[in-house]
Chain A
């Protein structure tokens, strides 16, 4: 099983639609989780951290399910500007307490007018 697994997509959705992505991770000791977005040939940009209690930032909602080892991202009222690749990032930490980060391959979202 891959360390971090995402459906590569593409997800083609009309403007205004709600879309959800899932990401599964294999290491149960994983400590923290993030969603980044990456535009074509650009750097990953932090979208949001994912907390156990779930968190919301405007149209974006992230959830963590530790029992089933997955995180999710929900985007409501999709905008054309949401078109990007969404990267799931899992941090397992290392024995020295430092970050040890694994990226998923990303899920591509295309919002269509």
Chain B
């Protein structure tokens, strides 16, 4: 069964450093998403992406964040200058279609720890 993959599984970084989280969505999916989950809290939407453009972003997704699909398979989330409060689990998801009835499938996540 096709699945979303994410690397690395755990990233430790110093405050102020840039990090890039990588995702490979399911191959025939066209819509991609990033979410974060701070430990003990709910899953929060960050951004959705289609056709090489951001289609929706939340207020969390400020100028420190960016997304990119650098090739035909990878989808990346970059945090330019990490803060302590960026420590969280980051989940990538993909869906086949844009309709709200299309289910999203999640990757296993990258645990980001900012020291």
Please list the residues of chain A having a beta carbon within 8 angstroms of any beta carbon in chain B.
Answer: 31-32, 34, 38, 41-46, 49, 87, 91-94, 96-106
Do B101 and A45 touch (CB < 8 A)? Answer: no
Do A101 and B104 touch (CB < 8 A)? Answer: yes
Q: How far is the CA of A102 from the CA of B100 in the complex (A)?
A: 12
Q: How many A-B residue pairs have CB under 8 A?
A: 68
With contacts A98-B50, A100-B45, A103-B44 known, is A41 near B89, CB below 8 A? yes
Looking at the assembled complex, report how far the CB atom of A73 sits from the nearest CB atom of chain B, in whole angstroms: 16
Please list the residues of chain B having a beta carbon within 8 angstroms of any beta carbon in chain A.
Answer: 31, 33, 35, 41-45, 48, 50, 55-56, 89, 91, 95, 98-109, 111
Do A49 and B103 touch (CB < 8 A)? Answer: yes
Do B55 and A98 touch (CB < 8 A)? Answer: yes
Do B106 and A45 touch (CB < 8 A)? Answer: yes
Do A98 and B48 touch (CB < 8 A)? Answer: yes
Do A32 and B55 touch (CB < 8 A)? Answer: no
Do A43 and B101 touch (CB < 8 A)? Answer: no
B111 / chain A contacts, CB cutoff of 8 Å: 41
Q: How far is the CA of A40 from the CA of B109 in the complex (A)?
A: 12
**Chain A residue with minimal CB distance to B97?**
A99
Do B98 and A99 touch (CB < 8 A)? Answer: yes
Do A87 and B106 touch (CB < 8 A)? Answer: no
Task: From the candidates B89, B95, B106, name the one contacting A99 in the complex (CB within 8 A).
Answer: B95
Task: From the candidates B35, B41, B98, B107, name the one contacting A97 in the complex (CB within 8 A).
Answer: B98
Do A43 and B103 touch (CB < 8 A)? Answer: no
Do A94 and B106 touch (CB < 8 A)? Answer: no
Do B31 and A99 touch (CB < 8 A)? Answer: yes
Please provide the 7 A-B residue pairs with the shortest distance between their CB atoms, ordered closest to farther: A43-B106, A91-B100, A31-B100, A103-B43, A98-B55, A32-B100, A105-B42
